C-alpha cells in the first residue's frame, strides 16, 4: 500500500509539470500506478468492508454473550458450524463497530489544501546566557504545506496570543478559514470540544483575519498531531547544539529556523518541501491586506510629580509641565502615549532605545522630534564620517511617519488629542534634516472619523 504522504507528493509533482515517467522513476513505481494516483488526485481509495459472516448474526450473538468475544467464537463453531480464526473474528467485530476498539480518534479530517492551521503552546527550559529560563513556546502550523512559525515568551497571555497570530499571519500573507486549538482559556470562554464557546474578544479578532477558532475534543491532542510533532522537532532539532544570549537572540534564531531552514527541508517519507507545497496551497487560502492594524492594549495612566508614566514596571517620561491623565497604547514591541491638555497636544511612541514625540507649536504647527539613545538600533554609528548616513536615515523615518500620519490622522475620532489636530497637508520645513520637522496644519477644528473607517494611530517605523 502506498502511503498517503507519497500519494500527495506524486500529485503535487504532476501539478508542477513533471512527466509521469520521471515521477515513476523517482518513486520506484509503475507508470500505470502513477497514472492511477494522479487520477485519484492523491487521495487514498476507500474500500468497502464485507465480513465472511452476516453482520446481523454477529451482533445478535455478541449481545447474547454479553460482549465476550471468546464465547462468540465458541458459539459460532458449536451452534452454527462456522470455522473462523479468533483473531479474524475480533477484527470483524472492531471494523463493524460491534466491539469497542482499544483506542479511538476524536475525528478524521481529510488533508485538504487551505483547510486549516493549528496553534498550541509548550513550556521549555532554555539556557539564555548563563541562566536557565522557563519560557513558553508558541507555534503556528499550516497543516497541508507544513509551514511553521515559532516564537518564545516569558509569559503568554491572551494579548500575546493575538500579537503572535498577527505576526505569523502577516508573515505568510494568507490565512485559512479554521484554526484548531486545544481547550485553553486564552480563547475558550466555556464548554469543551465542539460545545466550546469562544471568548467574544478572540472571536472578533479572528473574524478580522478571516478565520475562526475550533477546540478539539478533550484528551484528543492527536487532532492536531502535526502541531504536537512540531514541538518534538523543536526539542530535538532546534534547541540542541545552539546557544542563545538573550530572548531576542532566541526568537531571531527561532524565526530563521522555522521560516527558512524548515521550509526547505523535506518532510516525511515522500520528501514534501513546505515552500513548494505552499505555492500550490495559497490558491486555496484567503489573502490578507498588508497593513492590518496590530493588536494593542488600551491603558489609562496618570503622570507622577516627576513627569513619568509607569507601564509594566518601566517608567516613561512625558514632555511638558502638565500633570494628569494620559492614554497608553501598549503594542507588542513598543507603546504610544497620548496626553490631553489645554493648548498642548503631545503624541509619543517608543521603539527600543528611541522615541518619537510630537507636540503642538503655537496654534497651526505640529513639531515632530526623533530622539535616539542608541544608534545601533538603526544600524548607525555616531562618528563624524557617518553623519550624512545618520541624517538621511532619520529624515527617511520622519518623512515616512509624516506621510503615514497625513493619510490616517483624519480618522482617529476615538482619540480626542489626535482628532483635534485635523488633517495635515504634506508641506513643511526641516530645521535639522531628519531630526526636527514642522508640518503646516489646517485650522484646528473638532472632527470625528467616518463610520467604519480604521481607527489606528500612526506607529513609529521599525528599525532595520
Domain-ending residue, one of 265, 286, 307: 286
Sequence-separated (6 or more) residues with CB below 8 Å from residue 51: 58, 92, 95, 96
Q: Beta strands 117-128 and 178-181: pairing type?
A: parallel
Give domain status of residue 84, yes or no. yes
- 345, 421: one domain: yes
Sequence-separated (6 or more) residues with CB below 8 Å from residue 101: 94
Q: In what side-by-side order are the strands of the sheet with 346-351? A: 297-302, 325-330, 335-339, 346-351, 354-361, 365-372, 436-441, 424-432
- 318, 375: one domain: yes
The sign one gets for the Cα dihedral 407, 413, 419, 422 is positive
Give domain status of residue 234, yes or no. yes
- 63, 21: one domain: no
- Unique residue bearing C-alpha cell 497593513: 291
Q: Which domain holds residue 378?
A: 297-441
Helix 55-64 / helix 86-95 crossing angle, nearest 10 deg: 100
End-to-end CA distance of the chain: 52
- 307, 276: one domain: no
- 182, 273: one domain: yes
Total tally of structural domains belonging to the chain: 4
Task: Please indicate, yes or no, whether the overall pTM of this predicted structure exceeds 0.75.
Answer: no
Q: In what side-by-side order are the strands of the sheet with 147-153? A: 147-153, 131-142, 117-128, 178-181, 212-215
Per-residue pLDDT of the chain (464 residues; tens, 9 = 90+): 688 888 888 988 888 889 999 998 888 889 899 998 888 888 877 666 667 788 888 888 888 888 888 888 888 888 888 888 888 888 888 877 777 655 555 567 778 898 999 999 999 999 999 999 999 999 999 999 999 999 999 999 999 999 999 999 999 999 999 999 999 889 999 999 889 999 999 999 999 999 999 999 888 888 888 899 999 999 999 999 999 999 999 999 999 999 999 999 888 777 889 999 999 998 999 999 877 888 988 888 888 888 888 988 888 888 777 677 788 888 888 888 877 554 454 566 767 777 777 765 544 456 677 777 777 777 787 777 777 888 788 778 777 777 666 555 443 333 343 444 433 333 333 333 333 333 333 333 232 333 333 333 344 444 44
Give domain status of residue 461, yes or no. no
- 20, 79: one domain: no
pLDDT of residue 381: 78
What is the grid cell recorded at 433? 534634516
- 89, 125: one domain: no
- 169, 206: one domain: yes
Give domain status of residue 292, yes or no. no
What is the grid cell recorded at 20? 509521469
What is the grid cell recorded at 200? 467574544
Domain-ending residue, one of 286, 310, 336: 286
Q: Beta strands 365-372 and 436-441: pairing type?
A: antiparallel
- 229, 280: one domain: yes
pLDDT of residue 456: 37
Distance separating alpha carbons of residues 165 and 344, to the nearest angstrom: 37
Give domain status of residue 378, yes or no. yes
Neighbours of 98 (CB within 10 A): 18
pLDDT of residue 404: 65
Q: What is the CATH number of the domain that holds 141?
A: 3.30.420.10
pLDDT of residue 444: 30
Give domain status of residue 313, yes or no. yes
Give domain status of residue 233, yes or no. yes
- 261, 355: one domain: no
**SS3 call for 352:** coil
- Unique residue bearing C-alpha cell 548563563: 130
pLDDT of residue 106: 56
Give domain status of residue 90, yes or no. yes
Q: How many helices (H) and strands (E) does the chain have?
A: 13, 19
What is the grid cell recorded at 461? 517605523
What is the grid cell recorded at 158? 491572551
Which contiguous run of DSSP H or E holds residue 38? helix 31-39
- 229, 360: one domain: no
Domain-ending residue, one of 240, 261, 286: 286
Strand partners, 156: none
- 205, 322: one domain: no
User: What is the four-CA torsion angle of 60, 66, 70, 76, rounded to 10 degrees?
Assistant: -20
Amino acid at each position: 500500500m502506498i502511503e498517503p504522504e507519497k500519494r500527495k507528493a506524486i500529485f503535487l509533482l504532476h501539478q508542477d509539470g513533471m512527466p509521469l515517467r520521471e515521477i515513476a522513476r523517482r518513486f520506484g513505481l509503475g507508470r500505470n500506478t502513477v497514472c492511477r494516483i494522479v487520477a485519484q488526485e492523491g487521495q487514498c481509495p476507500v474500500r468497502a468492508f464485507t465480513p465472511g459472516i452476516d453482520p446481523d448474526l454477529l451482533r445478535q450473538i455478541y449481545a447474547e454473550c454479553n460482549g465476550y468475544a471468546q464465547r462468540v467464537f465458541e458459539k459460532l463453531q458449536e451452534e452454527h458450524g462456522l470455522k473462523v480464526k479468533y483473531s479474524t473474528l475480533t477484527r470483524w467485530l472492531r471494523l463493524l463497530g460491534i466491539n469497542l476498539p482499544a483506542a479511538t480518534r476524536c475525528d478524521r479530517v481529510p488533508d485538504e489544501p487551505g483547510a486549516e492551521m493549528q496553534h498550541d503552546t509548550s513550556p521549555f527550559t532554555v539556557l539564555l546566557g548563563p541562566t536557565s529560563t522557563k519560557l513558553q513556546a508558541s507555534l503556528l502550523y499550516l497543516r497541508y504545506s507544513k509551514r511553521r512559525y515559532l516564537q518564545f515568551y516569558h509569559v503568554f497571555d491572551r494579548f500575546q496570543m493575538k500579537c503572535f497570530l498577527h505576526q505569523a499571519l502577516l508573515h505568510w500573507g494568507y490565512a485559512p478559514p479554521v484554526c484548531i486549538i486545544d481547550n485553553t482559556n486564552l480563547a475558550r470562554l466555556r464548554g469543551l470540544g465542539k460545545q466550546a464557546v469562544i471568548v467574544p474578544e478572540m472571536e472578533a479578532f479572528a473574524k478580522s483575519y478571516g478565520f475562526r477558532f475550533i477546540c478539539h475534543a478533550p484528551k484528543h491532542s492527536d487532532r492536531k498531531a502535526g502541531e504536537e510533532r512540531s514541538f518534538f522537532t523543536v526539542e530535538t532539532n532546534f534547541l540542541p547544539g545552539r546557544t542563545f544570549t538573550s530572548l531576542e537572540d532566541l526568537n531571531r534564531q527561532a524565526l530563521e529556523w522555522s521560516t527558512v531552514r524548515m521550509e526547505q527541508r523535506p518532510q516525511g517519507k515522500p520528501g514534501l518541501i513546505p515552500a513548494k507545497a505552499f505555492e500550490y496551497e495559497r490558491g486555496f487560502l484567503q489573502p490578507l491586506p498588508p497593513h492590518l492594524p496590530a493588536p494593542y492594549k488600551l491603558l489609562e495612566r496618570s503622570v507622577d510629580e516627576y513627569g513619568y508614566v509607569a507601564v509594566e514596571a518601566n517608567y516613561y517620561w512625558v514632555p511638558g509641565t502638565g500633570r494628569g491623565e494620559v492614554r497608553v497604547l501598549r503594542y507588542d514591541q513598543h507603546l504610544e502615549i497620548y496626553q490631553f491638555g489645554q493648548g498642548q497636544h503631545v503624541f509619543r511612541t517608543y521603539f527600543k532605545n528611541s522615541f518619537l514625540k510630537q507636540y503642538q507649536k503655537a496654534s497651526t504647527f505640529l513639531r515632530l522630534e526623533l530622539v535616539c539613545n542608541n544608534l545601533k538600533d538603526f544600524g548607525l554609528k555616531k562618528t563624524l564620517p557617518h553623519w550624512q548616513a545618520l541624517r538621511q536615515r532619520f529624515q527617511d523615518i520622519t518623512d515616512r511617519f509624516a506621510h503615514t500620519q497625513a493619510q490616517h490622522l483624519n480618522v482617529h475620532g476615538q482619540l480626542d488629542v489626535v482628532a483635534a489636530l485635523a488633517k495635515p497637508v504634506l508641506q513643511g520645513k526641516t530645521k535639522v534634516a531628519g531630526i526636527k520637522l514642522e508640518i503646516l496644519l489646517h485650522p484646528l477644528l473638532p472632527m470625528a472619523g467616518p463610520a467604519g473607517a480604521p481607527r489606528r494611530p500612526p506607529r513609529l517605523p521599525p528599525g532595520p
